[in-house]
Amino acid sequence: MPGRTLTTLIGIILLALAALWVDFPDNPGLNLRLGDVVIQREIALRQGLDLQGGLQVLLEADLPPDQPLPPGTLETARRIIEDRVNGLGVSEPLIQLQGERRIIVELPGLSDPDRAIATFGQTGLLEFIHAGQVFLPEGTPVVTTGSATSEVSPTPTVEPQATPLASPTPEEPVYRTILLGRNLTSADLNTNPLGQIEINFTLDSEGTRLFADYTRENVGQVMCIVLDKVVVSCATIADTIPTGQVQLTRQGGFTPEEANSIVIRLRYGQLPIPLRIETNRTVGPTLGEDSIQRSRLAGVIGLTLVVLFMLLYYRLPGFLADVALATYALVVLALFKLVPVVLTLAGIAGFILSIGMAVDANILIFERLKEELRAGKSLRLAIEAGFNRAWPSIRDSNLSTLITCGVLFWFGSTFGASVVKGFALTLAIGVLASMFTAIVVTRTFLRLIMEMDLVHDPRWFGI
């Protein structure tokens, strides 16, 4: 056996073993130390929304269509939403822009969609308002100067004012904003001696000064804390509060979920623009599991039929192609884990399609090989001529597919079509791997058979 063929064969075996290790379900991941460099990497197959269930929400800027957004505003909103979602502890979230006015949010494996929407979808505008002598009930919607005069910008532009109640109409009073949430530096949960959950937050130097001035000048007046235009709590000012330490309470206390949602909104900042929910889709885990089972069954049936066809029609080359196809499956699955690829139903479809393309490449090669053998060439010359004559067709067809994948990937990234993007990525990875297995793996196996002088009868090649 020549050294080149042996070296290639050893490389293929090592590659297959490495891929098998990556594909192992209980893979511990990478944990290497190279001098001062530490490499830690989790290796897992990540499932998309349609496979493990979860929530998909499309948010749109809640502004007049003719009102342009300042540059960077939507990206700022996306980052804030991403921070809020990370605060929920959701694994593998997808938050990306869709066009110029929309943000798409996908949260796989989420068990409480309503809580998540309340956390990342609301503006998170915290206000302290002066209510005069009016003790507003909790949950009362209010109109404040904090929203009536704010312009769309990454940070609020309203200056806090310690002014009395303004009421342009008896039906809809407008309460003056004393302080805004931008003056917060931290927000945390606390449990009081009665076991009720409270929210404590600290003001910055400007907020501390303004709050101290306001409370000093309005002892005996009612001040309310408002979150997203809804009263959370009200209190009568008993004395000056000079420390900048503020406590948010509610009669009966907050539930842990409510308190955590409020803290996340306060901690990661106010959205620069109001957003409304355009679409809201929840996928149950049962549906995702059913999709996995059906996809697995379809894959097993399809792969079995392909293996049998190659074996019965092309005989020895078909058997070698089946072995190469197994190598292909190991390599592609390993790449899905290493890239990593978030696997969806569309991605599975792309993977299955790439299997067909891998088989198609082998069929082109074997048909050329049979033509050369029928022409009377030796096995050595027929193998090389078969690969050389089939290569231009394989190259051109796969290149055109990769170009299409590139266009689809760009489309999915630009317009937030994650399904299209996942299909394009898995198909592209599969096409590249299929070219490798058809040209390198199958060719090496055929050369190995030829150089070891194991087969002479043309009937082994389907002739």
- b/e burial code for range 304-319 (CB count within 10 A of at least 16 → b): eebbeebeeebbbbbe
In this model, does residue 167 exceed pLDDT 70? no
How would you classify the pairing of strands 174-180 and 184-191? unpaired
Do 250 and 290 share a domain, yes or no? Answer: no
Evaluate whether residue 311 is within a structural domain: yes
Mean pLDDT of all residues in 72-77? 85
Long-range contacts of 288-295, Cβ-Cβ distance < 8 Å, separation of 24 or more? 288/47, 288/49, 288/50, 288/51, 288/52, 288/53, 291/50, 291/51, 291/345, 292/47, 292/51, 295/345, 295/348
Do 28 and 106 share a domain, yes or no? Answer: no
Alpha carbon distance 295, 348 (integer Å): 8
* Residue 271 near residue 126, CB atoms below 8 Å: no
Alpha carbon distance 159, 211 (integer Å): 13
How would you classify the pairing of strands 184-191 and 197-203? antiparallel
Evaluate whether residue 239 is within a structural domain: yes
In this model, does residue 16 exceed pLDDT 90? yes
pLDDT digits (tens, 9 = 90+) for 408-452: 998 887 776 777 888 999 999 999 999 899 889 998 988 888 877
pLDDT digits (tens, 9 = 90+) for 246-264: 777 766 777 887 788 777 7
Q: Would you tell me how many other CB atoms lie within 10 Å of the CB of residue 262?
A: 24
- Which pLDDT value is given to residue 1? 52
Do 236 and 384 share a domain, yes or no? Answer: no
pLDDT band at residue 171 using 50, 70 and 90 as cut-offs = low
* Residue 329 near residue 318, CB atoms below 8 Å: no
pLDDT digits (tens, 9 = 90+) for 174-198: 899 988 878 888 888 888 888 888 8
The closest alpha carbon to 353, from 306, 319, 389, 395, belongs to: 306
Q: Into how many domains does the chain fold?
A: 2
**Which residue among 237, 257, 278 closes a domain?**
278
pLDDT band at residue 162 using 50, 70 and 90 as cut-offs = very low
Evaluate whether residue 167 is within a structural domain: yes
Mean pLDDT of all residues in 19-33? 82
Evaluate whether residue 28 is within a structural domain: yes
Instruction: Give the type of residue at 87.
Output: G
Do 370 and 343 share a domain, yes or no? Answer: yes
Do 243 and 114 share a domain, yes or no? Answer: yes
Alpha carbon distance 161, 179 (integer Å): 7
Name which of 59-73, 417-431, 448-462 the model is least confident about: 448-462
Do 341 and 423 share a domain, yes or no? Answer: yes
Alpha carbon distance 164, 219 (integer Å): 13
Do 79 and 163 share a domain, yes or no? Answer: yes
Do 322 and 222 share a domain, yes or no? Answer: no
Do 95 and 185 share a domain, yes or no? Answer: yes
State the chain's mean pLDDT as an integer: 81
Do 76 and 200 share a domain, yes or no? Answer: yes
**Which residue among 278, 302, 332 closes a domain?**
278
- Which pLDDT value is given to residue 165? 41
Going along 228-341, which residue ranges are E strands?
Answer: 230-236, 245-248, 275-283
Evaluate whether residue 230 is within a structural domain: yes
Evaluate whether residue 84 is within a structural domain: yes
- Which pLDDT value is given to residue 411? 86
Contacts of 88 (CB under 8 A, 6+ apart): 107, 115, 116, 119, 120, 264
pLDDT band at residue 19 using 50, 70 and 90 as cut-offs = very high
**Phi-psi group of 29: left, alpha or beta (phi > 0 → left; psi -120 to 50 → alpha; rest → beta):** left
For residue 294, what are the domain limits? 3-44+284-461
In this predicted model, which residue has the larger pLDDT, 42 or 411?
Answer: 411
- Which pLDDT value is given to residue 261? 75
Do 219 and 290 share a domain, yes or no? Answer: no
Do 441 and 320 share a domain, yes or no? Answer: yes
**Which residue among 248, 278, 308 closes a domain?**
278
Evaluate whether residue 227 is within a structural domain: yes
Evaluate whether residue 49 is within a structural domain: no
- Which pLDDT value is given to residue 297? 84
The CATH number linked to 162 is 3.30.1360.200
- Is pTM, for the whole model, over 0.85? no
The CATH number linked to 389 is 1.20.1640.10
Name which of 1-10, 167-176, 232-241, 301-310 the model is least confident about: 167-176
First to last CA, the chain: 26
pLDDT band at residue 156 using 50, 70 and 90 as cut-offs = very low
